[in-house]
């Protein structure tokens, strides 16, 4: 028997985990180099692009990717070709990408003035990024649905490496033009697709036509929940940009360096997922529902522990680490700022973990409502404050806490109502392949 068959880990866990880790580390490399090369205002404009891309792309396209993966895997298990399904998903994704692109053009004056700080060509980078991530997520769903997890992981890793290499080239050449760094963000998914698809065959086998309902009857709720989750993830930075006075615009760009330091526990969380997965998979496969619930409780406790550890680390050594990575002139946040951002990140990770449980148990509406409650809490707390950074930091903590609490209550209710076996299997399948955008 092969080593792969003897492994307790689900197929592709190592490849996907390695790709996500490389992507995460390379994201930090991109941020560090661009921060050191660009002015404060230019760096703020670039990171407005970063935030918009990683709200819109995972928000709209990741649920579609997951549904393509699920529906293709189902067809594969039945021996049915998935070509028509992929084409149907591509049409739907294209409509989403086109709709978001049109909205960006309609609101381009506000985007350019309020978020891009007058850097008009960053709008071009945004439109390219919409196209590249639409193709990337569609490709990822097709690969994972066909069980091609090695090229799936390769896509994540190569995208990060290509982006970092592009950024290194700009940095080495002394380029200080924000829109070129925007292209370094927008173009790598195209290269990653080409690398991942090299040598791949049989991804689009002929089969029966696919109605839109085959993707999911709850796709609209999945899309809504995903967009709201990503919006909450970057709400503090986006709100700081929109609320900042003209004299504060430059310092807002440096706010995100603290947010990246506070998100380091996300990398640790992905390692924890991979470590706990074998037992969760075994419990689900054996139908041991009570033990599975116990395993979920342990996962939640570990996530809470990581959040506490991250908050303590941010409050003590966070500014020191930030100054080493980004430079003393580019890191302006103090101990209190980083502690609050880390606490908010920990709450967000917890909410995301609980959301996966809800989605696995078909609690699509409950998950979307919980994320919406988090956005409302963020808005209320932020509106009540005066000091720019403190108000958005407290808003992030409140929003994440409310979302996590709502998710937890809804999940407890559903688990007490009975956990379907297919829900357990879906949860175990979703957890290892659920990337958390840095």
Q: Residue 73: which of 41, 277, 65 has the closest Cα?
A: 65
pLDDT at 288: 66
In angstroms, the Cα distances linking 62 to 139, 187, 257, 287, 430 are 11, 18, 25, 29, 12
Q: What is the mean pLDDT of residues 183-194?
A: 95
Secondary structure class of 229 (helix, strand, coil): helix
% the chain with pLDDT above 70 = 82
Q: What is the mean pLDDT of residues 129-151?
A: 89
More confident residue, 108 or 274: 108
**Residue-wise pLDDT tens digits, 277-293:** 445 545 555 666 677 67
Burial of 3 per CB tally in 10 Å (0-12, 13-18, 19+): exposed
pLDDT at 216: 66
In angstroms, the Cα distances linking 310 to 65, 151, 262, 347 are 30, 32, 7, 11
% the chain with pLDDT above 90 = 33
The structure tokens 């979920």 sit at 296
Which DSSP category does 173 fall into?
T
Q: Classify the C-alpha dihedral 244-247-249-252 as positive or negative.
A: negative
Burial of 248 per CB tally in 10 Å (0-12, 13-18, 19+): middle
**Residue-wise pLDDT tens digits, 395-428:** 999 999 999 999 999 988 887 775 555 555 555 5
151 pLDDT higher than 50: yes
User: How many whole angstroms separate alpha carbon 299 and alpha carbon 431?
Assistant: 11
Please tell me the least confidently modeled range out of 7-21, 24-38, 402-416.
7-21
User: How many whole angstroms separate alpha carbon 245 and alpha carbon 251?
Assistant: 10
Q: Report the b/e string of 60-77 with b at 16+ CB within 10 A.
A: bbbbbbbbbbbbbbebee
**Residue-wise pLDDT tens digits, 206-237:** 877 777 666 666 778 888 888 899 899 999 98
The structure tokens 């991530």 sit at 133
User: How many whole angstroms separate alpha carbon 235 and alpha carbon 392?
Assistant: 8
User: How many whole angstroms separate alpha carbon 309 and alpha carbon 399?
Assistant: 20
User: How many whole angstroms separate alpha carbon 84 and alpha carbon 438?
Assistant: 33
Residue 206 backbone dihedrals phi, psi, to 5 degrees: -60, 150
User: How many whole angstroms separate alpha carbon 150 and alpha carbon 10?
Assistant: 12
User: How many whole angstroms separate alpha carbon 288 and alpha carbon 266?
Assistant: 29
User: How many whole angstroms separate alpha carbon 25 and alpha carbon 30?
Assistant: 9
pLDDT at 185: 94
Mean pLDDT estimate for the chain: 82
pLDDT at 397: 96
More confident residue, 374 or 238: 374
CB 55 within 8 A of CB 230: yes
**Residue-wise pLDDT tens digits, 65-103:** 888 887 887 788 778 888 888 888 889 899 999 999 999
Q: 227: number of CA atoms within 13 Å, CB side?
A: 12
Structure tokens at 386: 């005066």
**Residue-wise pLDDT tens digits, 295-323:** 777 778 888 888 898 899 888 998 888 88
User: How many whole angstroms separate alpha carbon 256 and alpha carbon 78?
Assistant: 47
CB 184 within 8 A of CB 170: yes
Highest mean predicted confidence (pLDDT) among 10-24, 107-121, 142-156, 279-293: 107-121
């Amino acid at each position: 028997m092969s080593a792969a068959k003897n492994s307790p880990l689900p197929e592709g866990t190592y490849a996907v985990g390695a790709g996500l880790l490389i992507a995460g580390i390379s994201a930090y490399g991109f941020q560090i180099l661009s921060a050191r090369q660009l002015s404060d205002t230019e760096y703020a404009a670039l990171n407005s692009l970063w935030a918009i891309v990683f709200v819109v792309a995972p928000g709209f396209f990741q649920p579609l990717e997951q549904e393509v993966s699920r529906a293709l895997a189902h067809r594969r298990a039945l021996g049915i070709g998935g070509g028509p399904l992929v084409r149907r998903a591509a049409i739907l994704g294209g409509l989403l990408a086109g709709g978001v692109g049109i909205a960006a053009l309609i609101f381009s004056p506000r985007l350019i003035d309020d978020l891009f700080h007058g850097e008009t060509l960053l709008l071009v980078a945004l439109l390219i990024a919409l196209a590249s991530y639409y193709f990337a997520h569609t490709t990822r769903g097709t690969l994972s649905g066909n069980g091609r997890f090695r090229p799936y992981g390769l896509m994540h890793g190569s995208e990060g490496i290509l982006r970092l290499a592009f950024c290194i080239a700009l940095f080495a050449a002394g380029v200080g033009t924000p829109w070129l760094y925007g292209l370094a963000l927008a173009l790598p998914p195209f290269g990653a697709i080409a690398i991942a698809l090299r040598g791949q065959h049989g991804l689009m086998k002929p089969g029966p036509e696919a109605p839109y309902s085959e993707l999911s009857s709850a796709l609209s709720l999945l899309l809504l929940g995903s967009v709201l989750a990503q919006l909450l993830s970057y709400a503090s930075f986006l709100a700081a940009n929109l609320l900042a006075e003209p004299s504060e615009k430059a310092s807002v760009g440096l706010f995100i360096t603290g947010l990246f330091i506070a998100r380091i526990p996300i990398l640790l969380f992905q390692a924890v997922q991979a470590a706990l997965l074998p037992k969760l998979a075994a419990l689900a496969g054996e139908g041991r529902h009570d033990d599975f619930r116990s395993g979920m409780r342990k996962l939640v406790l570990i996530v809470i522990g990581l959040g506490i550890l991250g908050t303590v680390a941010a409050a003590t050594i966070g500014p020191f680490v930030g100054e080493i990575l980004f430079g003393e002139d580019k890191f302006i946040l103090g101990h209190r700022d980083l502690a609050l951002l880390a606490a908010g990140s920990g709450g967000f990770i917890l909410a995301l973990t609980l959301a996966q449980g809800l989605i696995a148990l078909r609690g699509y509406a409950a998950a979307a409502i919980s994320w919406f409650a988090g956005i409302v809490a963020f808005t209320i707390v932020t509106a009540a404050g005066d000091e720019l950074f403190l108000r958005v930091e407290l808003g992030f903590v409140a929003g994440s806490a409310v979302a996590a609490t709502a998710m937890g209550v809804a999940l407890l209710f559903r688990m007490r109502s009975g956990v379907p076996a297919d829900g357990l299997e879906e949860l175990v399948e979703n957890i290892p392949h659920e990337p958390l955008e840095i």
